[in-house]
């Protein structure tokens, strides 16, 4: 009996509706409710709306890259498989995919932990919590995620749709409240020199865009679940593009609604801006309910994030680039339980050990070069090497989206600041050193020739 391929060990139990729900849940999270004041501060007025548009444009052009790669390689692990194939499975692809795993082991638990910490901090609007009580809430939240996700992917898809209704319903309720109480004079109260197109304006735009891009991240999570999607060549591109367009409309409408109810000079200094917004509309009881729904949204995002990232070490282990134990699949529930439990427990520990303060910028600085810029270049390499038949979805106006994505990510990377950018480079350098040491020991590329024959799928 032949050994099943990695993707054959997993259950294809997610359709378009479940995929869109999972993706949109991952994109929203607690991020927009935390960064809205930061975006207003960086831009210094209602012109902050431009930063939300910039985040949407970058997400769309980069989403075209992910759509093409995800449709062509619907496998567990997403970026791991993309980088491996794009740069050559027996050559540079080994290094690039290893670097992605190297970063994932650090940044994936940090992403989950940051959401859990943000959850506990927002909870203090409802319940006064001390420092250690907040840490306990963060840890218990991650533990609950582990319990809910430890099941078959089809059941997970149903839970995701249930959470998704709460996410979209809450945002629509807030937007409706803003529209019915909207003050155009307040919303577009631009300060003098708001549209002065100097270098300072673009520095502010870059800083604000770092935060808005963070809130859009997640449109690619469905690619990590590629081996569990039905009709992936169609569903993955549709999911990515629907998710980005839908979330962009919701974010712009929500930011505009808030500016039309709470003066921007006050909003930029509010720690609980959305709770304040609802309080102005309907009073303190409604604000309390809104805070509960924000916590619902944060939980839904963490639900998808932990689920998605757990497939990355699994894919690497199946490929022989990571510890074999991570390739184990649960005998009855058909999901990579060892990989999932490792990331879940690590996330729990990180949620207790770390602070939220600088994690947003740090996560972006760490990921941009290998994952986002690496894939932008990689999709162009594949276009040159693979026949058109191996690309069931082709981005429109190629190569403009790929090139535009690369330059936009370079701008975002530079906007993180030299300390975070240097930190991202150091993490990559340590990853390269680690790879070279183990490659020399195992006698693999670049220390031994690897003859790899690519078999069309």
What would the pLDDT profile of 245-279 be if each residue is shown by its tens digit?
A: 999 999 999 999 999 999 999 999 987 888 899 99
CA distance 42 to 37: 9
Gyration radius of the chain over CA positions:
22
Cis peptide before 399 (omega within 30 of 0): yes
Tell whether the model's pLDDT for residue 315 goes beyond 80: yes
Tell whether the model's pLDDT for residue 452 goes beyond 70: no
Tell whether the model's pLDDT for residue 9 goes beyond 90: no
CA distance 182 to 187: 8
Q: Looking at residue 247, what is its pLDDT?
A: 93
For the chain, domain boundaries: 6-442
The CATH number of domain 6-442 is 3.40.80.10:
no
pLDDT in tens, 103-118: 888 888 888 988 898 8
pLDDT in tens, 300-309: 888 888 988 8
What is the average pLDDT across 134-140? Answer: 94
What's the number of CA atoms in the CB half-sphere (13 Å) around residue 446? 6
Q: Looking at residue 363, what is its pLDDT?
A: 74
Among 86, 88, 92, which residue's Cα sits nearest to residue 382? 86
pTM for the model: 0.84
Q: Looking at residue 455, what is its pLDDT?
A: 45
Q: E strands along 167-265, which residues? A: none
Q: Looking at residue 2, what is its pLDDT?
A: 41
Of 74-83, 99-108, 340-349, 442-451, give the lowest mean pLDDT range.
442-451
What is the average pLDDT across 177-184? Answer: 93
Tell whether the model's pLDDT for residue 30 goes beyond 60: yes
Angle, CA of 228, 366 and 420, to the nearest 5°: 155
Tell whether the model's pLDDT for residue 430 goes beyond 90: yes
Tell whether the model's pLDDT for residue 3 goes beyond 50: no
Q: Looking at residue 359, what is its pLDDT?
A: 65
Most confident of 58-72, 187-201, 262-276: 58-72
Query: What is residue 320's DSSP assignment?
Result: T
Phi, psi of 84 (to 5 degrees): -60, -45
Per-residue buried b or exposed e for 73-102, using 16+ beta carbons within 10 Å of the residue's own CB: bbbbbbbbbbbbbbbbbbebbbbbbbbbbb
What is the average pLDDT across 319-327? Answer: 82
């Amino acid at each position: 009996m032949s050994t099943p391929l990695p993707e054959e060990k997993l259950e294809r139990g997610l359709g378009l509706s479940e995929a869109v729900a999972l993706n949109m849940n991952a994109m929203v999270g607690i991020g927009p409710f935390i960064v809205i004041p930061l975006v207003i501060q960086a831009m210094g007025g209602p012109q902050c709306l431009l930063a939300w548009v910039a985040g949407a444009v970058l997400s769309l052009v980069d989403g075209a890259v992910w759509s093409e790669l995800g449709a062509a390689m619907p496998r567990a692990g997403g970026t791991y498989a993309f980088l491996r194939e794009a740069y050559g499975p027996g050559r540079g692809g080994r290094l690039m995919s290893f670097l992605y795993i190297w970063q994932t082991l650090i940044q994936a638990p940090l992403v989950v932990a940051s959401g859990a910490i943000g959850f506990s901090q927002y909870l203090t609007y409802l319940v006064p919590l001390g420092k250690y009580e907040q840490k306990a809430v963060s840890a218990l939240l991650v533990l609950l995620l582990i319990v809910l996700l430890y099941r078959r992917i089809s059941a997970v898809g149903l839970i995701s749709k249930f959470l998704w209704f709460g996410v979209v319903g809450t945002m629509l309720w807030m937007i409706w409240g803003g529209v019915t109480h909207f003050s155009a004079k307040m919303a577009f109260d631009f300060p003098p020199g708001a549209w002065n197109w100097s270098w300072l304006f673009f520095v502010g735009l870059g800083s604000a865009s770092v935060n808005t891009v963070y809130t859009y991240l997640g449109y690619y999570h469905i690619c990590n679940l590629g081996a569990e999607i039905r009709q992936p060549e169609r569903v993955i591109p549709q999911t990515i593009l629907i998710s980005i367009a839908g979330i962009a409309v919701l974010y712009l409408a929500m930011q505009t609604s808030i500016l039309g109810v709470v003066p921007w000079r006050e909003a930029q200094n509010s720690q609980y801006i959305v709770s304040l917004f609802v309080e102005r509309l309907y009073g303190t009881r409604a604000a309390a309910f809104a805070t509960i729904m924000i916590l619902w949204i944060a939980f839904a995002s963490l639900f998808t994030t932990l689920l998605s990232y757990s497939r990355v070490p699994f894919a690497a282990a199946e490929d022989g680039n990571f510890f074999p134990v991570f390739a184990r699949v649960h005998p009855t529930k058909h999901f990579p339980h060892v990989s999932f439990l490792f990331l879940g427990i690590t996330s729990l520990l990180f949620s207790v050990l770390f602070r939220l303060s600088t994690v947003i910028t740090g996560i972006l600085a760490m990921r941009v070069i290998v994952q986002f810029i690496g894939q932008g270049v990689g999709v162009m390499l594949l276009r040159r090497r693979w026949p058109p038949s191996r690309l069931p979805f082709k981005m429109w106006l190629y190569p403009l989206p790929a090139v535009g994505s690369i330059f936009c990510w370079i701008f975002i990377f530079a906007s993180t600041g030299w300390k975070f950018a240097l930190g991202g480079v150091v993490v990559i350098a340590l990853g390269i050193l680690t790879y070279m040491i183990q490659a020399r020991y195992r006698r693999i590329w670049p220390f031994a020739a690897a003859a790899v024959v690519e078999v069309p799928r």
